[in-house]
Amino acid sequence: MKTIFVLITLLSFSVIQAQEQKEISSEISDVVVYLKGAQVTRTANISVGSGKSTLLFKGLTPRLNSNSLQVAAGNGITILSVNHSIDYLESQKSDALAQKLVNRRDELQDSISLNKNTRQIYIKEQEMLISNQSIGGQQTGVNVEQLIRATDFFRQRLTEIEKTLFENNRTTLEMQRRLDKINRQLNELNARDDQPTSTIKVTISTNRPVSAPVELTYTVHDARWQPFYDIRVKDTDEPVTLVYKAKVFQSTDENWHNVNLTLSTGNPTISNYKPELQPWFLYPAPVRMPEVMETMSIVEDDVELNEELVIEDKEEARPIRIRGVSSLGKQNVTTVQQQTTTAFEIQIPYTIPSDNQGYDVAVSDHQVKADFQYATVPKRSPHVYLMAHISDWSELNLLPGQANIYFDQTYQGKTVLNPYSSEDTLNLSVGRDPGIIMERELQKDFSSKSFFGNNAKETKAWKITMRNSKNTKATVMVEDQYPVSTNSDIKVELEENSGAKVNPVTGMLNWTLHLAPGETKKLRFIYTVRYPKEMNLIIE
């Protein structure tokens, strides 16, 4: 009787213990993506009785940072502990497409193995027939009828085997091609089998039965976003439209399905500790006397340069402040200015699979006033480029990134925005304009080369012709150059410059031409170089 009572007590205790642990099903609801890394928030609703309970969040990514775990619960719930562990027995669940491909891959692998085994059976049969071609005994022989029947049998059966082997080989190759395609697609989807998962064990305590929401937050490293831009110019009389976009990448082994997405300019992976200076003591280095060696050899490959490199800590990400009207609408994007970072809260849910592919997210756009001007460098290019000069670009506090340029709805190419430049004006090359024609030619009548004594003298004359074939006026900035001497034996003289702005230090020549519709203007600059005639100089 006593034994029965003990068993009942133990069973009751086991039931109570089992009721204390609950496996919680959670969904990813919010994700904050940083320039490097992301913060993931999972939500769940729980119902627990009074006393202690253990909540198990299973099937999470094994890539989460356990030091970043945070749990928030509703009123009446006290969180006692949070523990993280890796579960190697329970693999991650693949998405529907990846799982379908995995199943098809496994079927093809089984079919290929079966085909190969069947092929080996037919090959063995073929070898057996070939090795047993003799009929009759050595003394009895065989009559003609038996020989004909045996020959027909061997021919028919060997032919059937060859056809079967041929068909088997063709089928196997076709299945192998399909298997290769599926494997490539699985690699594209970043799908992997038998990956471990994380389990988060949360111990809570309540004074009464409670039904409340629970939030689980953690960070992952395998996610990032990078800015890129669309620069759209409709007409030179209208402002430039600067569209701010982002590409979001993630390979966290968790798909983000219809999540509330926030893009932050922060970077939790960089150090936030201010560096400290230590006393800098100088000591005289001991003088090392050279050793006298009978034979000295120099092996250049073994020579090393030992340097002490001092690297100043530099913050990788700067905060950005975006002004203007959102391309998603004011109600769909909220810009939050924080002390050191800026966050863009995208109100439209986004789905970002864990495949490390870039997914575009629209952030905002700006109407920016720009001064337009044409520019050309005749020495380097025969084309004339439309330039947009944005003087108040520093107010945007942009991040570096690539930009697609569109002029009048036509794609012109790519450029790079570098907001960290020290220049006051952001210069953007919008594209080539064939309506303004430029020609640069050497005027041989004004160019010469002569010798006098030990010296040589060369004169070069260049003519630049600009013609505006457009029906609107145009302002063109022309850049060219003449050589600059760094040797006292070489003398350079600029004889004619057609009113250019001359920089004698760099040799740069700049003209600003105002061309009316159909107008043509010509520029000419001439320079002379004197140098010792034994000196080999190439002068253009």
How far is the C-alpha of 346 from the C-alpha of 331, rounded, in Å? 9
Strand 426-432 to 385-390 pairing: antiparallel
What is the average per-residue pLDDT within 105-109?
A: 88
Residue of higher predicted confidence among 107 and 316:
107
The pLDDT confidence band at residue 447, using thresholds 50, 70 and 90, is: confident
Residues 389-410 have a mean pLDDT of: 80
pLDDT at res. 182: 84
Chain segment 165-215, per-residue pLDDT in tens: 899 889 889 989 888 888 888 776 655 556 788 999 999 999 999 899 999
What pTM, to 2 d.p., does this model score?
A: 0.62
d(CA 393, CA 427): 10
Mean pLDDT of the chain: 81
Domain parsing of the chain, residue ranges: 2-27+44-88+206-219, 96-136+145-188, 223-269+317-432, 436-532
| H helices, E strands: number in the chain | 3, 27
Confidence of residue 294 (pLDDT cuts 50, 70, 90): very low
Other C-beta atoms closer than 10 Å to the C-beta of 471 total: 8
Tell me what the mean pLDDT of segment 241-265 comes to: 91
* Residue 308 β-bridge partners: none
The answer, yes or no, to whether residue 305 has pLDDT greater than 60, is: no
Q: Which of 23, 24, 41, 59 is nearest to 197 (CA)?
A: 59
Q: Residue range 107-128: average pLDDT?
A: 88
CA neighbor of 483 nearest in space, from 516, 521, 526, 441: 526
As beta bridge partners, residue 531 has 456
**Range 436-532 classified under CATH 2.20.200:** no
Report the amino acid identity of residue 196.
P
In 144-239 the beta strands, taken as DSSP E runs, fall at: 197-206, 210-220, 223-233
Partners of 367 in beta bridges: 241
pLDDT of 295 reads 36
Residue 17 has pLDDT above 50, yes or no: no
Which position has the token pair 């968790």?
254
Rounded distance between C-alpha atoms, residue 530 and residue 532, angstroms: 7
- Which residues, listed in sequence order, are joined to residue 109 by a DSSP beta bridge? none
Compute, in degrees rounded to 10, the torsion defined by CA atoms 169, 171, 177, 183.
-110
Which of the four pLDDT bands, split at 50, 70 and 90, describes residue 20?
low
- Under a CB-based contact definition with an 8 Å cutoff, are residues 27 and 44 in contact? yes
497 pLDDT above the threshold of 70: yes
Residue 429 near residue 477, CB atoms below 8 Å: no
- Tell me the C-alpha distance between 454 and 481, whole Å: 28
Q: Which residues contact 374 (CB under 8 A, 6 or more apart)?
A: 384, 385, 386, 387, 433, 436, 474, 475, 476, 477
Q: What is the pLDDT averaged over residues 504-521?
A: 94
> What band does 142 get if pLDDT is binned at 50, 70 and 90?
low
Closest-CA residue to 218 (of 68, 424, 388): 68
Can you say whether the dihedral through the CA atoms of 421, 427, 430, 436 is positive or negative?
A: negative
- Relative to beta strand 371-376, strand 256-264 is unpaired
Q: Please say whether the beta carbons of 256 and 31 come within 8 A.
A: yes
Instruction: Give me the count of residues in the chain.
Output: 540
> In the sheet that 240-250 helps form, which strands lie side by side, from edge to edge?
359-368, 240-250, 223-233, 401-407, 410-417
pLDDT score, position 141: 57
pLDDT of residue 5: 45
d(CA 273, CA 378): 51
What DSSP string describes 362-405? EEEEEEE--EEEEEE-TTT-S--EEEEEETTGGGG-PPPEEEEE
Instruction: Show the beta-strand stretches assigned E in 381-517.
Output: 385-390, 401-407, 410-417, 426-432, 436-442, 448-452, 455-468, 474-481, 491-496, 501-503, 508-515
What pLDDT does residue 256 have? 94
DSSP 8-state class, residue 300 = G
Write the pLDDT tens digit of every residue in 215-245.
Answer: 999 999 999 999 999 988 888 788 888 888 9
Structure confidence at residue 32 as a pLDDT band (50, 70, 90): very high
Alpha-carbon Rg for the chain, nearest whole angstrom, is 39
Instruction: Kindly report which listed range (132-146, 168-182, 428-442, 476-490) carries the lowest average pLDDT score.
Output: 132-146
What the block records as the tokens of 305 is 């340069």
Four-point Cα dihedral 105, 111, 112, 118, nearest 10: 170
The pLDDT value recorded for residue 201 is: 93
Q: Is the pLDDT of residue 269 over 80?
A: no
Determine contact, residues 347/331, Cβ cutoff 8 Å: yes
Q: Which of 111-125, 165-179, 392-406, 507-521 has the lowest mean pLDDT?
A: 392-406
Q: What is the pLDDT of residues 451-467, one digit of tens each?
A: 888 899 999 999 999 99
User: Who's near 282: CB < 8 A, 6+ residues apart?
Assistant: none
Pick the more confident residue, 286 or 513.
513
Report the range of poorest mean pLDDT among 82-96, 354-368, 381-395: 82-96
Banded pLDDT at 332 (limits 50, 70, 90): confident
Other Cβ atoms within 10 Å of 381 Cβ, number: 12
